[in-house]
Amino acid sequence: MRFLKAVFNLAMLAFFVASTAEARWSKYEDASVEVKFSNVNINVNRDGTYETEVELQAKILKESGRDRFSLYSLIYNDDSADLTVLEAKTAYNGEEYIVTEDMIEDKPLASPSKGFDQLRQVTISFPKIEIGTEVYLRYKQVNKKVPVDNFYGLSFSYYGDYLQAENTKINSELPLEIKVNDPREVLEIAEEKNDDIHSISIALKKAVYENTTNEPHNGILNIKHNTWVSLSSLSEWEDLAKKLAPGYHSVINQPLPATFEAIAEFADNESTDEEKINAVTSLLNEKVQYMGDWRTVSGKFFPRDLEKIADSQVGDCKDFSASTAAILQELGYKVQPILVMRGTTSTSNPKALPNMGNFNHVMLRVTNKDGKIYWIDPTNTVSMAQGIFPDIADRNALVLNSEEADYIKIPAVQGENSKVISHSELTIEDNVVNEYGQLNVQGEAALGLTGVGLYYSDEQLRDSVFRMISGVYLDEEEKKFLELPDLTLRNVEDLKIKYEFQQKNKIFKTNLGPALNLGDNWLNDVINTASDQVSDLFIGVPKTKESHMIIKDIKIKNCENLNFEIDSPWLYVNRFCKYKNDETEFSNLITIKKSFITNEELKTAEYKNLKSELENNFSRASIIISE
């Protein structure tokens, strides 16, 4: 129930810029900061602990660059690391300004409580931060504990800032694998092995600026277009899974606390597997409050003991997954924790070597006695064992199991299972449109409404649903009737909504008489593309929208001219109009088959034809409702 301040601050700027410029790769003139040089030295010990020293100098080019360095923050784990600022200063118009000790503050961040590591934040107040100022910083971080013993993994890209020069040097007692993506041929890499030390040097041969400008809001840059480096002491993801598995299963196999035992007993009385699993995750959410990060415990990404979770009544994704797994295991299910990158448009690097940066979340793969697999994320406030949450669907996952470790892909949401079906009747009189109808929301599509009654009042829900259905803010007298299902339930079920409202300004004038717009905003994200954009296009989670609209007592002249159908690998669209018994009926069917249209696909004749056909025949259609 998971993009923001920066977007809000730039909204007006984006409005003016977008009207005069096309999407493209960024140029130096677009940069807010120029990194003059960045030197990173990493020393890795055989047990996986490591020390990093960073030295950088950057020139501020724009106001956004001033914002970035006015209060510069570094965050570290107090339990597993030490961070020391070695030198900090600025230079402006030939004058140097030293950062003194009183300009550096090291303090703890708010803690989520019992058992979790304490994070600390070092804040540096750089003096004389103006456009043209050059900022210099050198600091060292020593990581005394690591999430996985005897392992080191790191992936980094050159996306973001304008980089004039960058050098990374790694000296490792652990032998390292290396994988590189260098589409612009900007990297110079050297390796050397002697005296049990593996040394790797990675340097820029020329300046690079990998960022984008004026991309569509739903554009997601594919990492294959970026320069990136991946390092790891392991070559296979399954080996990383085997290292992590014991830390999870040792907690899963602990005796159930009384609170969790009661949940197991209640769920055992349910009939189906889906009902049992949903009962467990719903009841656990009532007893334990989810906090949305995955903080380490003694430097490790492992869950706390079950008793500590039950006693504290708070937990992160590791805790929720371990608790749910323990209860389901008690009920006879096979449970396997899995690591994923959560987020509907968040993506990990599919070509990277094993490293923890590919994940930000823990959930479960649950198998019943017949071998059916359920993808369970217990951190959601609602439960849906019968479906797949969109923010974890269709992405790589690491199965943590000592005997059956695996690197797999979670299935995608199926558009035929996630549906919004509407039936409506319109009567038009004196330029006022009265709409009466019913909305059926099925499968994953019901996720957005399930449980919202736990957060909002009845009045808030009523106003929001009228706004959702009508597409506008209605006056109170225009809201005639609304029948909502119980939206306080934690289990995702098919929903039925009945409604009636009026709109006084839905009809607009033309030279041929009053007209009604048939355009569908659902397709805006499919057709609003830039001719030279560089990102992939996110068009939505797979879903089916089916609508049947009857206009009472009106015959639309030549309505069959609006009939339209087009199919593509990404989308199916169909509209059909017929006249029967003094009524005109429009039926629309839109199915999103895939979430993304790749940048390469956007340049094909097939996509260009799809965009043209939708613009000309569907998204801008209107009907004249009188002769």
Q: What is the pLDDT of residues 551-603, one digit of tens each?
A: 998 888 888 899 999 999 999 999 999 988 888 999 999 999 999 999 999 99
User: Could you tell me if 539 and 601 are in contact, meaning their C-beta atoms sit under 8 angstroms apart?
Assistant: no
357: alpha, beta or left? (left if phi > 0; alpha if psi -120 to 50): alpha
Closest CA to 595 of 347, 427, 381: 347
Closest CA to 405 of 393, 397, 413: 397
pLDDT digits (tens, 9 = 90+) for 142-188: 999 999 999 999 999 999 999 999 999 999 999 999 999 999 999 99
pLDDT digits (tens, 9 = 90+) for 82-133: 999 999 999 999 999 999 999 999 999 876 556 678 899 999 999 999 999 9
Whether 7 has a pLDDT exceeding 60, the answer reads no
Look at residue 13 in the predicted model and tell me its pLDDT: 34
State the fold for domain 238-409. Answer: C8orf32 fold (3.10.620)
Say yes or no: domain 50-145 is CATH 2.60.40.3140: yes
Whether 291 has a pLDDT exceeding 90, the answer reads no
pLDDT digits (tens, 9 = 90+) for 490-525: 999 999 999 999 998 788 888 888 888 887 777 888
Look at residue 93 in the predicted model and tell me its pLDDT: 96
- CA 505, CA 356: separation in Å to the nearest integer? 54
Residue at 402: amino acid letter: S
Residues of the chain with CATH 2.60.40.3140: 50-145
- CA 238, CA 544: separation in Å to the nearest integer? 36
User: Could you tell me if 60 and 69 are in contact, meaning their C-beta atoms sit under 8 angstroms apart?
Assistant: yes
pLDDT band, residue 231 (cuts 50/70/90): very high
Angstrom CA distances, 104 to 53, 388, 569, stand at 18, 46, 55
pLDDT band, residue 449 (cuts 50/70/90): very high
pLDDT digits (tens, 9 = 90+) for 63-81: 999 999 999 999 999 989 9
Least-confidence region, from 43-52, 207-216, 248-257, 618-627: 618-627
pLDDT band, residue 431 (cuts 50/70/90): confident
Look at residue 148 in the predicted model and tell me its pLDDT: 94
Q: What is the CA radius of gyration of the chain?
A: 28
- Please, what's the b/e burial string for 391-424 (b: 16 or more CB within 10 A of its CB; e: otherwise)? bbbbbbbbbbbeeebebeebebbbbebbbbbbeb
Better pLDDT: 246 or 512? 246
Question: What are the tokens at 307?
Answer: 């008793």
**Interacting residues of 430 by C-beta distance below 8 A, sequence separation 6+:** none
Look at residue 6 in the predicted model and tell me its pLDDT: 35
Residues of the chain with CATH 3.10.620.30: 238-409
Helix, strand, or coil here: 532?
A: coil
pLDDT digits (tens, 9 = 90+) for 475-485: 999 999 999 99
- CA 23, CA 525: separation in Å to the nearest integer? 15
Whether 337 has a pLDDT exceeding 80, the answer reads yes
Look at residue 609 in the predicted model and tell me its pLDDT: 96
Query: Which pTM does this prediction carry?
Result: 0.90
Look at residue 21 in the predicted model and tell me its pLDDT: 46
User: Could you tell me if 384 and 443 are in contact, meaning their C-beta atoms sit under 8 angstroms apart?
Assistant: no
Taking all residues of the chain, what is their mean pLDDT, rounded to a whole number? Answer: 92
How buried is 306 (Cβ within 10 angstroms: 0-12 exposed, 13-18 middle, 19+ buried)? buried
